[in-house]
Amino acid sequence: MKRSFINVLLSLLLFTNAALAADPLPSWNDTAPKRAIVAFVEQVTRDGSPDFVPVPERIATFDNDGTLWAEQPIYFQFLFAIDRVKTLAAQHPEWKTKEPFASLLKGDMKRVLAGGEHAMLDIVMSTHAGMTTQAFEKIVTDWIATEKHPKTGWLLTEMVYQPMLELLAYLRANGFKTFIVSGGGIEFMRPWTEKVYGIPPEQVVGSSIKTKYEVRDGKPVIARLPELNFIDDKAGKPVGIHQHIGRRPIIAGGNSDGDFEMLEWTTAGTGLRFGLIIHHTDNKREWAYDRDSHIGRLDRGLDEGPRRGWTIVNMRDDWRIIFPFEKK
């Protein structure tokens, strides 16, 4: 064995020791949530611990909108849909007089929203279906590469929560497999989650439309159809988890009542479990909203979470840094 190789091994070892000594969650204040997370991870990973969980069963699931990245003033996927309607309008002259497109093109969002679920579905289907999966992936990739937040001007992919990036990395360093389980479109997230969160496409669970395999001029494609396949929200989240993962998580995190059933399912399992709720309480650095919000409404979780043993993060007090750009 050559000396240089031993040196490489030595530096790797020293690096590992240094990493172990460093705080894995530097953007979390030293308050109850951080302490509870670290205690949980130590209890389930320490050899000989009564709560030890083997590596393959260390499944962690997190909501995306409002949990890993911001969701105000409107879900970012809806910004995408609005943008697509504007881009596609030239090919759809009929939209000038057809709702909800006419109002959307005039910028009258109030009237668009008054159309309710039916209007939303029209907008989603006309912008998310009718192309191949490869074409859609490219549209999303191109859009997300440059799209900026309407209020802060930062890239949407910079509107992610630094403490949650640290939590994901900390869990993975401890043998956890991290998954996204979001009400958002699975194909809207997959093109960028690996780069932004370190979560590969096969670990993203979300809502979906139906697709169809076909061979066009000798070239196989998967076509996106204007038909709902699965809504990964509320009671749909445990179902989505079961379909995709087939194993109950031991830690789950969310921020709205849409995540209630995911946390309920996770924490009802045997052995030590962890339920995490991000409560948006910081109207200076982020936004403050909960029970009365149309987006990310958190009501039942606030009432029942504490007595179910779930940890509630108060963003204002528990997070030293919220967005990565605050460090710059």
SS3 state at 213: strand
Among 48, 50, 56, 93, binds its own copies (CB under 8 A): 56
Q: How far apart are alpha carbons 161 and 322 in whole angstroms?
A: 5
CB 209 within 8 A of CB 128: yes
Q: What residues between 163 and 222 interact with its own copies by CB under 8 A?
A: 177, 186-187, 190, 194, 200-204, 208, 211-215, 219-220, 222
Q: Does 9 bind its own copies (CB under 8 A)?
A: yes
Q: How many helices (H) and strands (E) does the chain have?
A: 13, 7
Question: By C-beta, is 82 or 204 nearer to its own copies?
Answer: 204
Q: Cα dihedral sign for 262, 73, 168, 189? A: positive
- Match 């998310």 to its residue by tokens: 128
Number of residues that bind its own copies (CB under 8 A): 42
Residue 78 CB partners (closer than 8 Å, separation 6+): none
Which CB atom, from 52 or from 108, has the smaller least distance to its own copies? 52
Q: Are 267 and 238 spatial neighbours (Cβ–Cβ below 8 Å)?
A: no
Q: Could you tell me the smallest distance in angstroms from the CB atom of residue 156 to its own copies?
A: 20
Nearer to its own copies, 149 or 190 (CB): 190
Q: Is 244 in the site for its own copies (CB under 8 A)?
A: yes
Under DSSP, the state recorded for 299 is S
Nearer to its own copies, 236 or 254 (CB): 236
Distance CA 266, CA 249 (A): 5
Determine the residue type at 322: I
Q: Which of 296, 280, 273, 238 is nearest to 53 (CA)?
A: 273
Element (H, E) at 11: helix 3-21
Residue 235 interacts with its own copies (CB under 8 A)? yes
> What is the rounded CA–CA span in Å between residue 295 and residue 78?
12
Q: How far apart are CA 293 and CA 298, in angstroms?
A: 8
Q: Which of 268, 283, 285, 291 binds its own copies (CB under 8 A)?
A: 268
Please, which of residues 120-149 interact with its own copies by CB under 8 A?
133
CB 167 → its own copies: shortest distance, Å? 20
> How many CB atoms lie under 10 A from the CB of residue 151?
11
Shortest Cβ 212–its own copies spacing (Å): 7
The label of the residue with tokens 């979906």 reads 208
Min separation Cβ 159 and its own copies, Å: 23
33 lines the binding site for its own copies (CB under 8 A): no
Segment lying near its own copies (by CB under 8 A), choices 111-119, 141-149, 260-268, 309-317: 260-268
Q: Give the nearer residue to its own copies in terms of CB position, either 213 or 327.
A: 213
The reply to whether 238 sits near its own copies by the rule CB under 8 A is yes
Q: Work out whether 304 is an interface residue with its own copies (CB under 8 A).
A: no
| Binding residue for its own copies, selected from 13, 114, 173, 228, defined by CB under 8 A | 13
Omega of the bond leading into 73 within 30 degrees of 0 (cis): yes
Task: State yes or no: residue 245 binds its own copies (CB under 8 A).
Answer: yes
Closer residue to its own copies (CB): 26 or 198? 198
Q: Which residues contribute to the site for its own copies (CB under 8 A)? A: 1, 5-6, 9-10, 13, 56, 59, 133, 177, 186-187, 190, 194, 200-204, 208, 211-215, 219-220, 222, 235-236, 238-239, 242-247, 261, 264-265, 268
